[in-house]
Amino acid sequence: MAAPGWLSPRRRPATARSVLAGEAAAEAARKSALPADESPLPADAVELLAAAEEAGEPAFPVAGDDRAAAFFDLDNTVMQGAAIFHFGRGLYKRKFFERRELTRFAWQQAWFRLAGVEDPEHMQDARDSALSIVKGHRVSELMSIGEEIYDEYMADRIWPGTRALAQAHLDAGQKVWLVTAAPVETATIIARRLGLTGALGTVAESVDGVYTGRLVGEPLHGPAKAEAVRALAAAEGLDLERCAAYSDSHNDIPMLSLVGHPYAINPDTKLRKHARSLDWRLRDYRTGRKAAKVGIPAAAGVGALAGGTAAAVALHRRRR
Length of the chain: 320
Question: Is 73 an active-site residue?
Answer: yes
**Other residues' Cβ atoms within 10 Å of the Cβ of residue 276:** 15
| pLDDT the model gives residue 57 | 53
| pLDDT the model gives residue 232 | 95
Stretches in the chain below the pLDDT threshold 50: 1-12, 38-43, 45-46, 49-50, 52-53, 113, 116, 288-320
Question: Which residue in the list 65, 75, 171, 268 is annotated as catalytic?
Answer: 75
Indicate the residue type of 261. Answer: H
| pLDDT the model gives residue 32 | 81
| pLDDT the model gives residue 301 | 31
Q: For residue range 171-197, what is the model confidence (pLDDT) as tens digits?
A: 999 999 999 988 899 999 999 999 999
Question: Which residue in the list 44, 65, 73, 171 is annotated as catalytic?
Answer: 73
**Other residues' Cβ atoms within 10 Å of the Cβ of residue 297:** 9
What are the C-alpha distances in Å from 68 to residues 64, 89, 263, 283? 9, 36, 15, 21
Please answer whether residues 123 and 219 qualify as being in contact, where contact means their C-beta atoms are separated by less than 8 angstroms. Answer: yes
Helix spans in the chain (H) = 16-32, 43-55, 83-93, 99-115, 120-134, 139-149, 160-171, 184-193, 223-236, 253-258, 269-277, 302-319
Question: Is 37 an active-site residue?
Answer: no
**Secondary structure tally for the chain: helices H, strands E:** 12, 8
| pLDDT the model gives residue 40 | 45
| pLDDT the model gives residue 55 | 53
Rg (CA), the chain: 19
| pLDDT the model gives residue 214 | 85
| pLDDT the model gives residue 41 | 45
Sign of torsion over alpha carbons 67, 19, 204, 89? negative
Q: Rounded CA gap, 268 and 38, in Å?
A: 33
